[in-house]
Amino acid sequence: NAGVTQTPKFQVLKTGQSMTLQCAQDMNHEYMSWYRQDPGMGLRLIHYSVGAGITDQGEVPNGYNVSRSTTEDFPLRLLSAAPSQTSVYFCASSYSDSLAYEQYFGPGTRLTVT
In the complex with another protein, the residue whose CB is nearer, 17 or 95, is 95
In the complex with another protein, the residue whose CB is nearer, 14 or 39, is 39
The torsion of the CA quartet 99, 103, 104, 105, rounded to 10 degrees, works out to 80
In the complex with another protein, the residue whose CB is nearer, 12 or 18, is 12
Phi, psi of 85 (to 5 degrees): -95, 5
* Min dist. Cβ of residue 83 to another protein (A): 22
Spatial CA neighbour of 112 closest among 3, 19, 2: 19
Burial annotation 95-110 (CB, 10 A radius, 16+ → b, else e): eeeebeeebbebebbe
In the complex with another protein, the residue whose CB is nearer, 26 or 59, is 59
For binding to another protein (CB under 8 A), which residues are involved?
4, 40-45, 48, 58-59, 90, 92, 98-103, 105-108
* Min dist. Cβ of residue 91 to another protein (A): 8
* Min dist. Cβ of residue 5 to another protein (A): 11
Beta-carbon count within 10 A of 114 CB? 10
